[in-house]
Amino acid sequence: MKPYKKIGQIQVAEELVHFVENEALIGLDLDKEQFWANFENLIEDLSPINHQLLSKRVHLQEQINQWYQNNREFEAKAYQEFLTEIGYLEKRVADFQITTENVDEEIARQAGPQLVVPLDNARYAINAANARWGSLYDALYGTNVLDESEDTKITAQYNPLRGQKVVEYTKQFLDQVIPLEQGSHSEAKQYQITAGTLSITLENGQVTKLKDPEKFVGYAGEVDDPKTILVQNHQLHFEIKIDRHDEIGQLDQAGIKDIILESALTTIMDCEDSVAAVDTTDKVHIYRNWLGLMNGSLTSTFTKNGVQLLRQLNQDRHYKRGNGEEFSLSGRSLMFIRNVGHLMTSNLILDKVGQEVPEGIIDAVITSLIAKHSIIGLSELKNSKERSIYIVKPKMHGSEEVEFANRMFNMVEDMLEMERYTLKIGVMDEERRTSVNLINCIEKVKERIAFINTGFLDRTGDEIFTSMELGPVVPKAEMKQEKWLQAYERSNVKSGLKTGFQQRAQIGKGMWAMPDEMKAMLELKIDHPKSGANTAWVPSPTAATLHAIHYHQINVVDVQTNKREDNHSYLEEILTPPISEDRAWDKQTIQNELDNNVQGILGYVVRWVHHGVGCSKVPDIHNVGLMEDRATLRISSQHIANWLHHQICTEEQVIDTFYRMAKVVDEQNCNDKTYRVLVHNGERSNAFEAALELVLKGREQPNGYTEPILHRYRLKEKEEHLQKQSI
């Protein structure tokens, strides 16, 4: 147990006290004693409400379970009436528009990718902040986007034939998004600035310009020898980089060495489902990284390909307009911070009766305190030009819980002496009770909402859990085609547009969870801007650069304008549970489903529990690397729990599958010297126990969440490790 310091009536872990008083509060005009006194009041006011909200979740679910048991023949109308009666479905508020002010351009006006990154990993987090700009040449060369033959494979040295394909693809992209009045970019020999505008000399000597000359917005270098041409299309920028002496540039008749796309407009620094933070040390580590991002001091030193590297936040980018006037664009992605939800408590702080305090309350106070460093502008590397702080709040159920978050944000603003609505909120639409009451949820935070986002992964987990009693759900891969999911996605866009999100806030779509499948992403993720979303999640900087292409191809403003007319009522479809009509799957189908889910669960949980890694790339049974986090774990564990409950498989079969897949996962990790096998000489590791419990006790977990079990086993693992060290 960590030593605590008694402050007023509460007890605060020494490590947190030290961090707050010697790091987070330094440079801020806040009184230390007052800070702790206010924090204590806030805990006293809010903790009981937090607990009541959680009890309500349990109570509603008990009633839903009972209803399903009494109504085996599902009838949509009766179901809706029942949900209204118990207060799950809320009475819709009168029409309103959100009024959020001081929202940065990256959120309100620009449409583009949103990157997510685990905040416990400084190397990745800085990389993410810098992923505002990414090389299109690298993204195309280094992934599977381009069709590959023997000749165009990635080789140890640069492969010019592959490079040629990259250039061809890029020139087509340029012709598509910044076409020339005559000819093609592939015929361009020279780009220069003439009389304040971009002129292009073609190989036949003809001089032409852009079809839309206003897309040229700036340059760097000399007018007759520019090093950078900055263009803008659909509010999104990119740079054409020219250097005739460069290894790549010299192969191009116009000297183009790269195209740098504005990529991750925004990034979510994640303290939630992609990290494994179970104690004070873990939490303070994350808070310290956030502080480094907010005051611009975060660095990371690491060795890559035998070279020692220092990574730090990028500076802004400087240009001249056609008339010579200087201007700059941010070199970094606009950062959000994702706090934890309302569920867990933390021993970082104990209240006056010695109970752990809700972790979401602690996150709200500490992450906002830290972000104040950025808004008072101590660092040159400002995050928000509008002096706003962007907090993503996940896993809220219904409008009461959103109202609670709003109340908490008000109190935090007051205690940190911030103007009202400095704290903006991003509401994850990822629990069913929020989806069906989304307009009411938005209304509760209408002065501060900066995004809604369909977290379809958590949402799928919640869907399975909520309808657990009704029947067996469809196989996991079929979930995306289910009525509820399609309707939920559309309804989310509709709700955002009806309440005035256009040009004011983000309507976001979910994660691309196959980090290496970039060709498929380029083919499919264009559906997100097409659906009216002005952002969507990507798992890596490379994915951000490739997904940015979609926002050049689709003008989201136009799409949203058309979608504003959507008057379809989606409620009944959203409330159609994904229960299989035909439960007669053959033995092999059932076993494959189990194998796939169990492999993913074990592959993820072993790294969570034994190594403290909260987001991993884990191969599925077809050997496709999948991004796994707590939300995907929630789906897989709930899925098996559901099939077990409805006797699609037996407990014996599940346990047997766990043992078999443990060997597969051990084999996948055999090159990792720090790896400990899941079962050793019949002795099950903590990770194995945790993974199995997530399934066998899946129905008992609050809303199917995985946090309680993961935390318990990770703490046990840490404790055992300490004991071993002290022997």
Ligand X SMILES: CC(=O)SCCNC(=O)CCNC(=O)[C@H](O)C(C)(C)COP(=O)(O)OP(=O)(O)OC[C@H]1O[C@@H](n2cnc3c(N)ncnc32)[C@H](O)[C@@H]1OP(=O)(O)O
Binding residue ranges for Mg(2+): 430, 458
Contact between 191 and 242 (Cβ < 8 Å)? yes
Nearer to ligand O=CC(=O)O, 108 or 457 (CB): 457
SS3 690: helix
Give the count of residues interacting with Mg ion (CB under 5 A): 4
**680 beta partners:** 683
Binding residue ranges for acetyl-CoA: 116, 123-124, 274, 311, 539
Cβ-in-10-Å burial (0-12, 13-18, 19+) of 350 comes to buried
Nearer to ligand X, 372 or 432 (CB): 432
Angular region, 612: left φ>0, alpha ψ -120 to 50, beta rest: left
Can you list the pairs that 688-691 forms with residues at least 24 positions away whose Cβ atoms lie under 8 Å? 688/602, 688/606, 688/658, 688/662, 689/713, 690/605, 690/608, 690/609, 690/714, 691/598, 691/601, 691/602, 691/605, 691/606, 691/658
CB 128 to ligand X: min, Å: 4
Rounded distance, CA 200 to CA 197, Å? 10
Nearer to Mg ion, 279 or 430 (CB): 430
Binding partner at 319 among Mg ion, ligand X, ligand O=CC(=O)O, none, C-beta below 5 to 8 Å by kind = none
Task: Give the residue closest to Mg ion by C-beta.
Answer: 458
Binding partner at 616 among Mg ion, ligand X, ligand O=CC(=O)O, none, C-beta below 5 to 8 Å by kind = ligand X
Binding partner at 127 among Mg ion, ligand O=CC(=O)O, ligand X, none, C-beta below 5 to 8 Å by kind = ligand X
Catalytic residue among 433, 459, 629, 634: 629
CB 14 to ligand O=CC(=O)O: min, Å: 33
Place of tokens 């050793």: 680
Q: Should residue 180 be labelled a site residue for Mg ion when binding is judged by CB under 5 A? A: no
Q: Should residue 341 be labelled a site residue for Mg ion when binding is judged by CB under 5 A? A: no
Question: Residue 595 corresponds to which tokens in the numbers above?
Answer: 């194998």
CB 314 to ligand X: min, Å: 13
List of residues contacting ligand O=CC(=O)O (CB under 6 A): 273, 394, 428, 430, 455-458, 510-511, 631
CB 449 to ligand O=CC(=O)O: min, Å: 17
Nearest C-alpha neighbor of 544 from the set 136, 171, 8, 169: 136
Centre a 10 Å sphere on the Cβ of residue 699 and count the other Cβ atoms it contains: 16
Binding partner at 515 among ligand O=CC(=O)O, ligand X, Mg ion, none, C-beta below 5 to 8 Å by kind = ligand X
Binding residue ranges: 116, 123-124, 274, 311, 338, 430, 455-458, 539
Rounded distance, CA 624 to CA 385, Å? 40
Contact between 386 and 336 (Cβ < 8 Å)? no
List of residues contacting ligand X (CB under 6 A): 115-118, 123-124, 127-128, 131, 270, 273-274, 304, 455, 457, 511, 515, 539-541, 615-617, 627, 629, 631
Rounded distance, CA 12 to CA 567, Å? 51
Binding partner at 128 among ligand X, ligand O=CC(=O)O, Mg ion, none, C-beta below 5 to 8 Å by kind = ligand X
What distances in angstroms separate CA 82 from CA 74, 88, 431, 459, 642, one per listed residue? 12, 9, 19, 21, 23
Catalytic residue among 57, 132, 317, 338: 338
Rounded distance, CA 613 to CA 275, Å? 6
Nearer to ligand O=CC(=O)O, 402 or 416 (CB): 402
CB 697 to Mg ion: min, Å: 21
Nearer to ligand O=CC(=O)O, 293 or 635 (CB): 635
- Give buried/exposed letters for 361-386 (b at 16+ CB in 10 A, else e): bbbbbbbbbbbbbbbeeebebbbbeb
Task: Give the residue closest to ligand O=CC(=O)O by C-beta.
Answer: 455
Nearer to ligand O=CC(=O)O, 106 or 462 (CB): 462
454-483 positions binding Mg ion, by CB under 5 A = 455, 458
Centre a 10 Å sphere on the Cβ of residue 610 and count the other Cβ atoms it contains: 23
CB 457 to ligand O=CC(=O)O: min, Å: 3
397-436 positions binding Mg ion, by CB under 5 A = 430
Query: For 444, how many CA atoms within 13 A lie in the half-sphere containing its CB?
Result: 26
Binding residue ranges for glyoxylate: 338, 430, 455-458
Nearest C-alpha neighbor of 581 from the set 484, 483, 472, 465: 472
Nearer to Mg ion, 455 or 541 (CB): 455
Contact between 421 and 100 (Cβ < 8 Å)? yes
- Residue 288 among the catalytic residues: no
Question: Residue 679 corresponds to which tokens in the numbers above?
Answer: 């079962």
CB 296 to Mg ion: min, Å: 29
Of these, 20, 343, 631, 662, which contacts Mg ion (CB under 5 A)? 631
CB 598 to ligand X: min, Å: 20
Binding partner at 274 among ligand X, Mg ion, ligand O=CC(=O)O, none, C-beta below 5 to 8 Å by kind = ligand X
Binding partner at 456 among Mg ion, ligand X, ligand O=CC(=O)O, none, C-beta below 5 to 8 Å by kind = ligand O=CC(=O)O
Nearer to Mg ion, 258 or 430 (CB): 430
**210 beta partners:** 180
Nearest C-alpha neighbor of 432 from the set 467, 400, 470, 482: 467
Cβ-in-10-Å burial (0-12, 13-18, 19+) of 572 comes to middle
Rounded distance, CA 319 to CA 333, Å? 18
CB 64 to ligand X: min, Å: 24
Nearer to ligand X, 70 or 671 (CB): 671
Angular region, 358: left φ>0, alpha ψ -120 to 50, beta rest: beta
- Residue 338 among the catalytic residues: yes
| β 625-628/616-619 pair status | antiparallel
Q: Which residues form the interface with Mg ion (CB under 5 A)?
A: 430, 455, 458, 631
Q: Which residues are catalytic?
A: 338, 629
